[in-house]
Every structure is written in structure tokens, then in C-alpha cells.
Amino acid sequence: MSFQPVKFYQTGTYTVGNRLLAPDERSVQANQMRGNSINSGHRACQGCGEALGARYAIDAAMVESNGQLIAANATGCLEVFSTPYPESSWQVPWIHSLFGNTAAVATGIAAAMKAKGRHEVRVVAQGGDGGTTDIGFGCLSGMFERNDDVLYICYDNEGYMNTGVQRSSATPPAARTATTMPVGPEPGNVFGQGKNVPEIAMAHGIPYVATATVADLRDLEYKVRKAMRMHGARYIQIFVPCPLGWGTASHDTIRIARLAKESGMFPVFEAEHGEVTSVLKIRNKVAIGEYLKPQKRFAHLFGKHAHPETVARLQAIADRNIRKYGLLEEETD
Amino acid sequence: MPSKPFAITLKPGTSLANLTGTWRTARPVYLDRLPPCNNACPAGENIQGWLFHAESGDYEQAWRVLVQDNPLPAVMGRVCYHPCEGACNRGQLDSAVGINSVERFLGDEAIKRGWKFEVPAHGSGKKVLVVGAGPSGLSAAYHLACMGHKVEIHEAGPLAGGMMRFGIPKYRLPRDVLDAEVQRILDLGVTLKLNTKVASIDLSMRQGGFDAAFLAVGAHIGKRTTIPAGDASHIVDAVSVLRSMEGEDKPMLGRKVVVYGGGNTAIDVARTVKRMGGEPIIVYRRTRDKAPAHDFEIEEALQEGVMIKWLSTIKQAGAGEITVEKMELDDKGFPQPTGEFETLAADSVVLALGQDVDLSLLDGVPGLEVKDGVVQVAPNMMTGFPGIFAGGDMVPSQRTVTVAVGHGKKAARHIDAWLNGTNYESAAKHELAEFEKLNPWYYSDADKTVRPMLDIIRRQTSFDEVQGGLDETNALFEARRCLSCGNCFECDNCYGVCPDNAVIKLGPGKGFEFNYDYCKGCGICVAECPCGAIKMVAEDI
Ligand SMILES: Cc1cc2nc3c(=O)[nH]c(=O)nc-3n(C[C@H](O)[C@H](O)[C@H](O)COP(=O)(O)OP(=O)(O)OC[C@H]3O[C@@H](n4cnc5c(N)ncnc54)[C@H](O)[C@@H]3O)c2cc1C
Ligand SMILES: Cc1ncc(C[n+]2csc(CCOP(=O)(O)OP(=O)(O)O)c2C)c(N)n1
Ligand code: SF4
Ligand code: SF4
Ligand code: SF4
Ligand SMILES: [Mg+2]
């Protein structure tokens, strides 16, 4: 367990708050006066996981930095839905970079603040998986390698959603997108390495790397706040389901994220200086099918022309994650 | 001089100008659903409602909410068969919330701390006669007194309590507990006339100038069966045995006591005999799973050394022994004789075959309907004679203390309306908070707290209470296991999970509100509310 869970048998640490918890045991999101870094009126789809994840993360970062925060933002849904000129939803100093250079822009801001002696001002960079794992990757790797004082947050919705659901190097195998095989014997994204940026970030040996999901708010806030207390290059990848791109019901966003974690498909862990220091254990393990079935992007794997072997290959990926990160609680007997 | 930088023509503004609520095709609304526990409680207790206060450690408030429906929580917490727990949604997660044990804790706490009912400020000027001081009569008296009516209870016996005192043994319901809860009701100004058997309801009402009456005389006449018996045989009925346990002269049953029947009364008699040093053996014509007694009671009796002969009927009773015939179940599950006989030593035979109602007080009252030995009542608990209501064991119903208490409450409401010349309309029932309406992910795992049991030697030799109670810490733990089915418990989930900040948190105790200007109707709040207190309704478009 990566954080101290509240021993509270009614809801534990699973709910956002609880009337019976001491105020310091509640999440940032439970606070009546929370910052709402992204204000209402943004144009994200119904049930957008990215809008939610960004508010969770930036609200926590704002609390930890006492409101002294500047955010750079790559092109992508988050930027487009929050800031259609001349309106903005952001209630933090915020700058739109290009699609591929947000890590570099953030580095520049951090350097400028340092030069001005504004040591209290902290910098985050944020982008989608496309802007992070693909086009922005060079800038990101440089930021890591120089250990620039930036927290980079990647909102991983496993595709280029803003431009119409194209494949990215974070798209999982077999998922259908606008740019993968629509039909044929093996439709959807190919099985391959993809690009596991959390692990690549760890390979840079930076102070802090973590993954999180919108289904585990307490864990997410803990990680953002911890990262904000550290200096140097830090990276957090947040799993944010996309109802439009994944073909899921808008009310299912959190459930899908929960199933990704509970199936082992998305391992939730944290690492310091290249070493895994804790993982969020699976609570009620589910078979991969439970995660895949509610998503239309995997619909071709089920039904009349089902692909059980493909499902089995995806299960194998989940199983490997479980083994590799030790996601299951050890049997005690 | 351009006031804006190059290429910028519009003033920057906030996205609040964009009312995304217009996208919505369905809207979330908060609602209260009926928790299955409340739905299953024969006394209509607002269980989730009182547990809510117990969860925060405010036991007095919890008790006050509880006694709005049931004035006998300490009794309930000991003798109620808790159908609420059978219905509790938590049973589908790990094990049901120990509702009954928390109820007992609250009841005992109230006695310890001396919490009292509030005496109503104004009297109605109406006078109601309650016949019988069993649970049903006491409950009706309590509710009627709270409504401001003058209540007089006429009780035939020497003490109040009915079957709670003269049936249920001490080892299950200590009498000081019963006395305390009865006294609290009397402190409301209820008059209790003991040793006052009502021989004719018509006469008693006229003599006392009563405006209405509630009858709750119970069922006290032990059913007989014809057993060929020699003169020397000693056959008695269970109810009189249990009743005499309360008096000076304890029943003389000898050492070997055969108890005939398979209901709770048979079990209580056998366990009582055991405690008096006898050797009880229950004879019952069917099997354990067909016996009307609750399985946990059979189990407790067996633990204490009560012997049970299943599938047996008594053929003959003689001096010092009886003959039983073995039975077998036919394909419809009915016991059929086998022709195989056996003799058992028996100094006495106690018949525990159920009870009939003594309806003689109703002789001559016109308009009454009596069927199967019980008085028929309308849905408002009124008999065929206007102004005379009835409840508990003497009307068609399940015979339990809790049902009797429920009848008393219901009758009181209708009597009150009747006295005012109106009709009592109960509020429409909320839709049920079924397990499928919950999102159980959010509850942490926590198994039920088991109540301590008295050690077996003391159970076999004394009338000390068998089942212990919870203490403060585990009562709080148990209360907090409640899932709060269908009723918001301020977990902040809806407030937290909305991607559009369209939930407004109003502050502690005030709940939440939707901001429909921005709610896009995604339904995440509904899906992630742990307890099913929000639902989506279609917009008219
Ligand atoms: C041995 C035994 C054990 C039981 N155990 C349980 C249990 O564990 N849990 C449970 O829920 N239920 C139990 N029951 C059932 C439960 O006790 C009854 O269903 C319940 O007491 C009925 O309540 P009542 O108010 O209708 O009648 P009673 O409790 O029978 O009270 C009726 C009262 O009316 C009085 N009365 C009768 N006639 C007159 C008259 N003409 N004038 C004035 N007063 C009169 C009687 O003296 C008596 O006090 C048990 C029953 C028995 C016999
Ligand atoms: C250099 C460049 N190439 C392409 C684009 C078009 N473009 C804008 S957003 C986007 C995809 C964004 O995907 P991702 O980073 O995953 O963010 P998401 O929208 O999924 O949140 C693309 C291809 C661009 N803005 N700039
Ligand atoms: S969990 Fe609570 S509200 Fe739900 S049925 Fe059980 S006691 Fe009642
Ligand atoms: S989560 Fe927010 S936007 Fe979605 S239905 Fe609920 S209030 Fe509306
Ligand atoms: S989600 Fe929590 S706070 Fe919101 S209605 Fe349900 S119980 Fe209440
Ligand atoms: Mg993306």
C-alpha cells in the first residue's frame, strides 16, 4: 500500500470523503472550498476521464504548492476543451505549448522562475498520451535527463482522442482506433511492445515516477502531493478512460478505470530513482474480459466472431503485470 | 493605440459562460430509497436512520429515532427474531449488520443513562382503554400517550409484560430490563391497572367512559391434544409451566420431562427444565428443518444438553413413562406413522402445541368476525365494531413481540385519526434500495461482531442471561458496518467524481445539490454513489 489507509470500516479510504472522518483524513476533492482548477463550462464530453483526472491532479498540486503553480499544457483534448478562445476553464496560471514541446516549455518556465528567485513557484507540465509518448517524447526525455524541476503529468486515454481517436504508442493491443485495421483476421491495434513510458522514465533514474487512475482518488492525490514535495524531474501517468474513444457508457468512466487496475491491465505503482517502492494491490481480481467487454473498441473480441485467443493474449499481459509488480496480496494461511 | 495585444480581439473570459447543462438528456436527482432492513422490520423501525446517529457515536439521538417507532429497544435487542438482518444488504457482501445487537446496546444505554420519553405538552381530552399489557398493548399505550391521549391499561395479570414476562424465560429476557422499559412508558402518564381482567369490553368501556379501545389480550390458552393417558400420568401445558416460573410456586415436573412440540415454546420449556435440574427431552413429529422453532434456538438447546427426538409422536402416557411412535415423512413432507414403538421414561409431559385466544371479553359485541379462533381486523386494525381496535397475537398474524409492537403503533395512529374523525394515510413507501442499486466497491471489508455467550455450565444451571451485549467500541464498529442503503451518508463521492463540478456541497449535515447549469448528465455520480441515493431521470426534450 502506497499510503496509509484510513481504518474505517464503513467506507475506508475508498470514498472521496466521509462525514465521520477527521478533516485531515479527507481528500482534497472532499473539501467544500476546493480549488476547482478546471472550472465548469469546459467542453469535455459527458463523463470525460481526462477532465476529472486533471482536476484531481492539479487541485492536489495547488494545495501542496500553496497556490504557487504554473501549468504548461500540450495540445490535445485537455487543452482544446478547456480553452476555446476567448474562454478558459483554468483557475491556475496556464500556458498552452505546442503539441510536442510541453516538457521543454515547462523546463523554460522553471528556469525563468529560478532566475527570478521565485523559488516558491512550482511548475507542472501536462499532456495526453500522444503528446507524451509520441511527439513530445524527445523533449520529455531531455527534461528527465537534465533532472529539470518539473512534475510532468500524462493523462493516458490510450489514443489521440482530440483529433478523432487515432492510435498512439500507448494504445493497447487489439483496441480498435481510426488508424488501425478495421476488419480482417486480427482487427485493431497490433500486438507489440507499445511504449511503456513509466518504465522508460524509471530508466532515466529520476527522483519520482508513479502511475494512478481516476478510480483511486486517494492514491492519486497522495502521489501528486508527494511528487510536489520533491524537486527535480518527476513523472506521473494517470489512466483516464475516454467514453467517446473507447465506446464506453459515460457513467462507466470510473468503473472502467477500476477494472483496468483490478484486472492487472494497468499496474498502479510508484518508483523512486528507478526502483519500484510500492504498488496498489488488486482488491478483487477480475478476468480481463470484465474489463474489455464494456468497451466497444474491444467488441470484436466477443460475440459471434469472438477471438478468445486474443483475449487470452491480453490476459497474459495482465498476468505478467501482476507477476512483475506483485499486484496480488500474498496468500496468508 | 490598440488596447489588446496583436491578433487578440476578444476579451478573455471564463468558461462559466458556457452552460453545458443544455447537453443533458437525463438528469441526476437525489432521493431516499427504502432500506431493506426498514422494509423488513415488523415494527417499522427506521433502522438505517438510527444507525446513522449511532455511527457518529450519538447514541442518545440514535435511541430517540429508534423509539419513534418502538418503545422497547432493550427488549427487542434480546427477543426479536430480527427479520431486518435477514434482509440486510450487507449480508450479500460479508454478513448482515448486527442490527439487533446495536439495538440492544442502545436500549441498555438508555436504561443506564436514564433517558426518558418526552411527555406531550397538550392533552387531547380523549380517553382510550387498552386491554392487556403485553407488547402490543404497551406499544399502543405509548404511541397514544405521545399523541396526547389519556390511556388506561387494564391487565388481568399481576404484572405487566404479557408473554414477555410469563412466556419468554429470564435467561433470554432479564426482568429488570423489561421492568425498566415498561416503567418508562408508564412515566408518560399511562395508567396501568393490574389484576383487572376485562370480562366484557362493552361494560368496561361504558364504566370508564372511554372513547375507543385497543384489545391486545394475546393467546394464552394452551392447545390440547388427545393422548390416551392413564390416571397416574402428569400432563401439563407449556404456557402454564412458564407462567408459574414467575410465581412463588415453581412447577413440579419431576426429573424426566417430555416436552411435546417443535416450536419456540417447546424449546423454552425444555431449556427451563434443564436449568431446574431436570432432564428434558423434546418429542416432535417432524424433522429439525421442518420445526417451527428457529434453528439457532434449537442449536442453543442442544448445546445445553436438551435431548430431541425428531419424527416421533406420543401414543400413550402412563405412570412414569410414555410410548412414542416413530414417524417417517411422505413425499409431500407430512409425517406418517410407521408402527414402530418405543417407551421413554417420563415423570411428566408438557404440551407445547400452540395457544388459543380467550375471546370471552368480546361476548355480545355485534359486528365482530372471528375466524380460526382469532379476531378479524380491517387494514386500520379496527374490528367489526367501530371504535374497538385489536392487535398482537389475538388477530391474524405472525406471533412475535415485534409484530405485536408494530400492531400497537399502527392501531394507535388509526385510533388517533378515528378519534379526530379523520383517516390516517401512511406516507407512500419509497422505492426499495435493492443490493443492485448499491456500489459496494466503496465499503471496506468488515465481518460482523459476534455477541458473547454465557459459558455452558452457567447456562445449564442458572437463569442468567445467555447472550451478552456489545460494548461501546464494538457497537460503534457494528453500526459503522451499515451501508446506509438508499440514504445519503455524506461520503462526498458525488461531489468528488463529477467531471463538471456540477455537484454543490452544502456543508456538514446539509447534503448536496446539483448545478443543472453545468451538469451534462453523464451519470457518473449515480454510478459511484455507494448507497444508491441518486438516480437518473429523463429530461423532457
Ligand atoms: C414461550 C414463548 C416464547 C416466546 N418467545 C418469543 C421471542 O423470543 N420473540 C418473539 O418475538 N416472540 C416470542 N414469543 C411470542 C410473543 O411473546 C407474542 O407473540 C407476544 O407477546 C404477543 O403480544 P400480545 O401483546 O399480543 O399478547 P401477550 O404478550 O400475550 O399479552 C397479552 C396480555 O393481555 C392480558 N390479558 C389477557 N386477557 C385479558 C383480559 N380479558 N383483560 C385484561 N388483560 C388480559 C394478559 O394477561 C397479557 O398480559 C414467545 C411466545 C411464547 C409463548
Ligand atoms: C505538431 C502537431 N501535429 C498534430 C497536431 C494535431 N493534434 C492535436 S491534438 C492531437 C492528438 C492528441 O492526442 P493526445 O496527446 O493523446 O491527447 P488527447 O486528445 O488524447 O487527450 C493531434 C494529433 C498538432 N496540434 N500539432
Ligand atoms: S446495510 Fe444498513 S441500511 Fe442496508 S440493509 Fe443493512 S442495516 Fe439496513
Ligand atoms: S457526474 Fe456531474 S455531470 Fe455527470 S450526471 Fe452527475 S452531476 Fe451531472
Ligand atoms: S455519493 Fe455519497 S455524498 Fe453523494 S449522494 Fe451518495 S452517499 Fe451521498
Ligand atoms: Mg490521448
> Cα separation of A284 and A263, whole Å?
9
Predicted TM-score (pTM) of the model is 0.92
Note the pLDDT of residue A12.
74
Q: Is the ipTM beyond the 0.90 threshold?
A: yes
Burial state string for B242-254 with b = 16 or more CB within 10 A and e = fewer than 16: bbebbeeeebebe
SS3 B339: strand
Residue A48 pLDDT > 60 = yes
Q: Which chain B residues are Cβ-neighbours of A241 within 8 angstroms?
A: none
In CATH, the number for domain B15-32+488-538 is 3.30.70.20
**What is chain A's mean pLDDT, rounded?**
95
Task: Domain B37-115+459-480: give its CATH superfamily.
Answer: Alpha-helical ferredoxin (1.10.1060.10)
B514 CA distance to ligand 4 middle (Å): 8
pLDDT number for residue A51? 98
Q: What is the pLDDT of residues B44-73, one digit of tens each?
A: 999 999 999 999 999 999 999 999 999 999
Amino acid at B371: K
Low-confidence ranges of chain B (pLDDT < 50): 1-2
Query: Following CA atoms B336, B337, B342, B346 in sequence, which dihedral angle do they give, to the nearest 10 degrees?
Result: 70
Asked if the C-beta of B438 comes within 8 angstroms of chain A's C-beta atoms, the answer is: no
Q: In angstroms, what is the span from residue A133 Cα to ligand 1's centroid?
A: 76
Query: Higher confidence at residue A182 or residue B219?
Result: B219
B223-354 has which fold?
A: FAD/NAD(P)-binding domain (3.50.50)
B127-220+357-419: CATH architecture? 3-Layer(bba) Sandwich (3.50)
Measured CA angle at A245 (ends A240, A250), to 5 deg: 65
SS3 call for B302: helix
Q: Average pLDDT of A81-89?
A: 93
Q: Phi and psi (nearest 5°) for A62?
A: -65, -45
Q: Rounded to a whole number, what is the distance in angstroms from the first to the last CA of chain A?
A: 20
Among the ranges given (A52-56, A101-105, B363-367, B407-411), the one the predictor scored with the smallest mean pLDDT = B363-367
List every span in chain B annotated with CATH 3.50.50.60. Answer: 127-220+357-419, 223-354
pLDDT of residue B363: 93
Looking at residue B1, its pLDDT comes to: 45
Ligand 4 nearest atom to the CA of residue B503, by list position: 7
Inter-chain residue contact A253 with B499, CB threshold 8 Å: yes
For chain A, what are the domain ranges?
A: 23-325
Model pLDDT, residue B461: 86
B13 contacts in chain A (CB < 8 Å): 86-88
Task: Kindly report the protein residue whose alpha carbon is nearest to atom 2 of ligand 4.
Answer: B498
Q: Report the amino acid identity of residue A152.
A: Y
pLDDT of residue A6 exceeding 70, the answer is no
Q: With an 8 Å Cβ cutoff, are A16 and B56 in contact? A: no
**Closest Cα to atom 33, ligand 1: which residue?**
B132
Residues B527, A29: C-beta atoms closer than 8 Å: no
Distance from CA of B64 to the nearest CA of A (A): 20
| Cα angle value B202/B203/B206 (rounded, 5°) | 85
CB pairs under 8 A between A and B: 163
Question: Atom of ligand 4 at shortest distance to CA of B515?
Answer: 7
Are B431 and B162 in contact, with CB atoms under 8 Å apart? no
Q: Who among B441, B498, B515 is closest to A258 (CB)?
A: B441
CATH number, domain A23-325: 3.40.50.970
Task: Give the atom of ligand 5 at the shortest distance from the alpha carbon of B489.
Answer: 7
Among candidates B257, B150, B157, which has minimal Cα distance to B208? B150
Write down the H helix ranges in B27-174.
36-40, 47-55, 59-66, 73-79, 83-87, 99-113, 135-146, 163-166
pLDDT at position A5, please? 58
pLDDT at residue A20, as a whole number: 86
Pocket test for ligand 2, best of A162, A166, A238, A240 (most atoms within 8 A of CB): A162
Which of B31, B522, B528 for mutating ligand 4's site (highest number of atoms within 8 Å of CB)? Answer: B522
